[in-house]
Chain A
Amino acid sequence: MSSRTASIARSALPPAVFGVGFLALWELVVKGFDLKPYFLAPPSKIWQKFTENFDLVWGATKVSGTNALVGLLVGTAFGIVMSLVLSRYRVLSDLVTPLAIALNAIPIFVLVAVLNNMFAITSEVPRRIMVTLVVYFIVLVNVARGLTQVSATHVELMRSYAASEVAILRKVRVPNAVPYLFTSLKIAAPASVITAFVSEYFGGSQNGLGSRIASNIANSKNAVAWAYVLGACLLGLTFYVISSLLEGAATPGGGSKRAKKSR
């Protein structure tokens, strides 16, 4: 146990030292060159504003975080269901997959402007739909790959056992797709947070992190804007860490270990 703690400390120490050093340098540059607060706020000031406005930042984080979470869950559910359908009907897959990949490559979150037109001005629904769409395509493309790219030996083996297509799906394709699902969640989780922020720039209620950052910058309250940025960073990080932990928990023997050893 102590050796494990030591190894975590060894791997965590260099980036921690680097981070602290970076903040110190930032502080020194702002103070040393006497940079104006509307140009760049020093970390100490940002931290002060963060603690002063903690309730406001927390409130905005809850709004953006909820939008991201709802979109993430719904998008993942749709993505999984659709990939199962596509793996069952190959014709459909040939039709949809290129489209999904193409859509994945363009910044489709601008669609939120169109969605805003369809719902009440204070509605959070357009933002959630937007996050859902982004997450959906990420999950769909990855999970569909996991369901179809199974080892040829495994399929031959199952056929030699006279296994039905349903049995092959349950015993081979779905377990094979599980690591793909968690990889896609690791990509989709931060993407859901980013999409939730950016969606706020296209109108609607001014209650989330994204719109607060914009309005504080507009009011020259630079340090307060940075406090919201800090909140945004922490939110994105939380989503990422949770999805990483889920991956570790869902993979027997630990995900990265297995990926390295299996052939």
Chain B
Amino acid sequence: MSAVEIRNLGKIFNAGSSNQVDALVDIDLSIASGEFVSLIGPSGCGKSTLLRLVANLLEPTSGDIAVNGKSAKQARLDQDYGMAFQQSGLFDWRTVVKNIELPLELKGWDKAKRRERALEMLELVKLADFAEHFPWQLSGGMQQRVAIARALAVHPQLLLMDEPFGALDEMTREHMQGELLSICRRTGSTVIFVTHSIPEAVYLSNRVVVMSPRPGRITKIVDVTIEGERTDATRDNAAFFAGITAVREALRGVEMSAHVRGIEDR
């Protein structure tokens, strides 16, 4: 069974009014269990909208989404997925460990059980020593790790990430990418990952979905075939560069066609 099945999906904002936006049209995408898929494309291509539709934070205008074989809404109600955003979205008034406990609290877990799980998650993101700190006492990279730990707390099979490393510096970012892959290897999670960065998409993904704007749609899906486990050495690998070139060309095609139609993206 595929983890996410998207058929004929469309999303229109402000339908019928003068500022109608065709955010997404004719989206078909099937994501296998355990797969890591990145969504990449220029601003306004609908990649964040697509992620929010899978998360059922938005309702589609047309088409279907199935998550773990259920409707997107049922999957949300069952907390089948964990989500992380560009802003860590940690609660300032809760300690690190209490932040991670929040989704479990809402599921009605008892105190001892959720503390145990939260500490286990902190161990996973290597922040066990910071359980009783407040978020504002941590660096940006550490905050983002706590946000990932929180997203993983319910042991979801699916992880939805909206530019989670977008606000981090390059060094921290590469480090976090390695951490994320090692976490996914251990948990076997399926990941949908929205990003602006070509190397990030290629380094992390099995497949990179290239999207284009106005109307938002999928223009190409690039398979990344890098042998073996991905490590820092992967970044010097020929297959890695080949992947980057393929995605860049697919994106360039997007820009070219935008120019041909006389649409300026800036």
Same complex: yes
Residues of A within 8 A of B (CB): 151, 153-154, 156-163, 167, 171-172, 175-176, 178, 252-253, 258, 261-262
With A162-B79, A252-B93: A151-B87 Cβ-Cβ less than 8 Å:
yes
Query: How many Å from the CB of B72 to the closest CB on chain A?
Result: 11
Q: Are B55 and A153 within 8 A (Cβ)?
A: no
Chain A residues touching B, majority SS: helix
* Nearest 7 Cβ contacts at the A-B interface: A153-B89, A261-B136, A160-B83, A175-B93, A162-B77, A153-B87, A161-B106
Q: What chain A residues lie within 8 Å of B107 (beta carbons)?
A: 161
Query: How many Å from the CB of A71 to the closest CB on chain B?
Result: 29
**B: contact size bracket:** 20 to 34
**What would 17 more interface pairs be, CB under 8 Å, given A160-B81, A160-B83?**
A151-B89, A154-B91, A156-B83, A157-B89, A158-B106, A160-B57, A160-B76, A162-B77, A171-B91, A171-B105, A172-B91, A176-B93, A252-B93, A253-B137, A258-B92, A261-B137, A262-B136
Q: Which A-chain residue is minimally distant from B95 (CB atoms)?
A: A252
Q: How far is the CA of A258 from the CA of B92 in the complex (A)?
A: 8
A-B contact pairs, 26 of them (CB 8 A): A151-B87, A151-B89, A153-B85, A154-B89, A156-B57, A156-B85, A159-B57, A160-B76, A160-B83, A161-B106, A161-B107, A162-B77, A162-B106, A167-B106, A171-B105, A175-B93, A175-B94, A252-B93, A253-B136, A253-B137, A258-B92, A258-B134, A258-B136, A261-B136, A261-B137, A262-B136
Q: Which A-chain residue is minimally distant from B140 (CB atoms)?
A: A263
Chain B residues touching A, majority SS: loop
Looking at A160, A163, A175, A176, the one whose CB has the most chain B CB atoms below 10 A away is: A160
Q: Which A-chain residue is minimally distant from B77 (CB atoms)?
A: A162
Q: What chain B residues lie within 8 Å of A252 (beta carbons)?
A: 93, 134
Q: How far is the CA of A158 from the CA of B136 in the complex (A)?
A: 20
Render B62-82 as a binary contact track against A, CB cut-off 8 A, 1 for contact.
Answer: 000000000000001111010
Render B131-158 as a binary contact track against A, CB cut-off 8 A, 1 for contact.
Answer: 0001011000000000000000000000
Query: How many Å from the CB of B96 to the closest CB on chain A?
Result: 12
Q: Which A-chain residue is minimally distant from B107 (CB atoms)?
A: A161
Residues of B within 8 A of A (CB): 52, 55, 57, 76-79, 81, 83, 85, 87, 89, 91-94, 102-103, 105-107, 134, 136-137
Q: How far is the CA of A252 from the CA of B91 in the complex (A)?
A: 12
Q: How far is the CA of A151 from the CA of B88 in the complex (A)?
A: 11
With A153-B87, A157-B85, A175-B93: A162-B136 Cβ-Cβ less than 8 Å:
no
Q: Are A161 and B102 within 8 A (Cβ)?
A: yes
Q: How far is the CA of A154 from the CA of B77 in the complex (A)?
A: 17
Q: Are A157 and B83 within 8 A (Cβ)?
A: yes
Q: What chain A residues lie within 8 Å of B55 (beta carbons)?
A: 160
Query: How many Å from the CB of A255 to the closest CB on chain B?
Result: 11
Q: How far is the CA of A163 from the CA of B89 in the complex (A)?
A: 16
Query: How many Å from the CB of B88 to the closest CB on chain A?
Result: 8
